[in-house]
Amino acid sequence: GAGVSQTPSNKVTEKGKYVELRCDPISGHTALYWYRQSLGQGPEFLIYFQGTGAADDSGLPNDRFFAVRPEGSVSTLKIQRTERGDSAVYLCASSLGTSGGGELFFGEGSRLTVL
């Protein structure tokens, strides 16, 4: 596609439920990032993929959070036993993955509300 696509754009769930958020990056981008943005704050790093492997998952807050990218393209962020504090906008970004940084292309985010 032309840009990074995230689905769903909005998700309302109840405390304790399981949630999956999907990211479809720009074709050919090897690097994929998940960030979380709470109201009034900047994006907070969660996990970074280079190809199929998680190169850095140090930002995942606890073991309820997990992400996969099985074929090196689409990624799914999975949240188990959701808590009210998980409510935020989850942003996905992709890049060409060149060394030393590079432009991140962001999706519009998935807004998660945990009641």
Partner 1 sequence: GEDVEQSLFLSVREGDSSVINCTYTDSSSTYLYWYKQEPGAGLQLLTYIFSNMDMKQDQRLTVLLNKKDKHLSLRIADTQTGDSAIYFCAENYGQNFVFGPGTRLSVLP
Q: Which is nearer to partner 1, 82 or 90 (CB)?
A: 90
18: which 2 tokens? 């399981």
46: which 2 tokens? 């969660």
24: which 2 tokens? 């479809």
Q: Which is nearer to partner 1, 19 or 91 (CB)?
A: 91
| Closest distance to partner 1 from the beta carbon of 9 (Å) | 10
Cα→Cα distances 110→28, 51, 62, 91, 98, Å? 22, 22, 20, 7, 26
Q: What are the backbone angles phi and psi of residue 84, rounded to the nearest 5°?
A: -60, -30
| Closest distance to partner 1 from the beta carbon of 17 (Å) | 25
The whole-angstrom separation of Cα 94 and Cα 41 is: 21
| Closest distance to partner 1 from the beta carbon of 60 (Å) | 13
Q: Which is nearer to partner 1, 28 or 100 (CB)?
A: 100
Q: Which residues bind partner 1 (CB under 8 A)?
A: 4, 31, 33, 35, 40-45, 48, 50, 55-56, 91, 93, 97, 99-109
